[in-house]
Amino acid sequence: MKAFPLLVFGALTLLSGCATTQTSQVNESAPVSNAIAENVEKANPIGTSTSEDVTDQAKQQETLPAATDPTETFIGTTPAYDNLVDRIRSGFAMPDMPRARIQPFIKRFSSNPDYLNRVFARGGPYLHHIVEEIEARGLPMELALLPIVESAYNPQATSHAKAAGLWQFIPSTGRIYELSQDWWMDERRDVIESTRAALDYLEKIYALHDNDWFLALASYNWGEGAVGRAIRRNKAAGRPADYLNLRMPRETRNYVPQLIALRDILESPQNFGLTLPYVANRPYFAVIDKNQSIDLKLAAELAELDPQDFQALNPHLRRPVIEISRTNRIVLPIENVDRFNTNLADYLTKGLPLVTWKPYTMKRGDSLKSIGARAGVSADDLAKANSLKNGKVNLLPGTVLLAPVAAQPSSNASLETTLASFKGARTIEREYVPAKTHVVRRNETWQSIAKKWRVRVADLKALNRSVSQLKEGLRLILRPQTSRTVITEANGRRIYKR
């Protein structure tokens, strides 16, 4: 995959030259010299504890070119680094940790150089922006390495505890820090917004723990309440209440040592026989403000990007339409911005629609297959667009989906208004609940079985009329198979009706 330079909020500012209302201000953001990673790797590829929850897997990454000797030029008194890794190294400020606590992780990371290369390749498009934000707040640059521990720099990573994104926010903490999570998008995966939220949260818990970064990081992993209780227990017992002496889960106990191990490796990679990848110290992507909705696939095409590359820079977008009332921006590699503006202007002169999807209420006789066939879309693609299990799911009339406009009758309603009022798919299905049974054991009677399951003997016999005598191994029906209607709302809430 080709390499793109990356840009983020807070770096340079450009103005797009397109005269349409679709393109406006362009904000530059973080850079990297490697291609957007094609695939995602488990956050815990070398047996560390934090990443064992991360479920997304990474594809093989190409090896990065070796870092050159750091080249420094000085502007006034501030060194400007050619290699972003050197810039990160210069900002390390957290205290050291006993060697015995970090040595196992140094060994694991340093014995897996390909893993470090893949992580930097995958995180490259985002890293400059994160460094800029950390530097602007005067925070220690070790925090730029935290997404390696959390998610292996994979914005699509999801843990078993439903933490998501580079910074692994659980839903509740994400909402506290104003990360929108709905049917349309999940800002926990938005690199820009999640970085802002993560640094806000880290600053808060750093102050909460009297400017102790190790306790702050423990709180980020385990929860500030849990760390607070551990501190109070130690103080009550007359024991030291610092990170190294608290009783914590294994994951949290190993969390900070992993980060400090990474810090020490980056600080002196030659000591571990490593050559770190080169990451260009310049913005990589641009943020383009827009004022109309647009199909995600069309936006990628206009930018001349593979949809997978487009999604890597916009991982928070969950639907085939980028709906303007939910977000007014898209993120592109800097070098693709002019192409996007030019292609968009040409596209609009043809009078073609920017959006080809809208809500549709299913009618009798409809199925995902029949709806998709009317628009040349597969049932599985239609299911994916609406986060359904597959294209074979049996949906009932009244189900509301996002479907291709070509599959629907024409309407005079404003498409933007219709999309803005659509909270998400609302599905109606018929669900079958299997029968509940009991296998008779030796010496059991109707009375003992009825008592065990808290049912009446008469009801138990009525369900098993063909049984004249109980025998060991006989299967009795406790509850017959039933069916019910299940309505699933856009927010995931399920309503059951008989």
* Residues acting as catalytic residues: 150
- Kindly state the tokens that stand for 488: 């699933």
The DSSP secondary structure of 207-257, one letter per residue, reads: HHTTS-HHHHHHHHHH-HHHHHHHHHHHHHTT---SGGGS---HHHHHHHH
- Kindly state the tokens that stand for 176: 């506290």
Q: Determine the Cα–Cα distance for residues 118 and 109; give it in Å rounded to an integer.
A: 12
List phi, psi (to 5°) of 332: -135, 155
H-run or E-run covering 263? helix 250-267
Sheet containing 13-15, strands listed edge to edge, beginning at the edge strand earlier in sequence: 13-15, 25-28, 285-289, 329-333
Enumerate the β-bridge partners of residue 497.
485
DSSP 3-state assignment of 398?
Answer: coil
User: Which amino acid does the sequence have at 10?
Assistant: G
Enumerate the β-bridge partners of residue 185.
317
List own/partner pairs for 489-497 with CB under 8 A and 24 or more apart: 489/424, 489/426, 490/182, 490/183, 490/423, 490/424, 490/425, 490/426, 491/182, 491/183, 491/423, 491/424, 496/431
Q: Determine the Cα–Cα distance for residues 67 and 84; give it in Å rounded to an integer.
A: 10
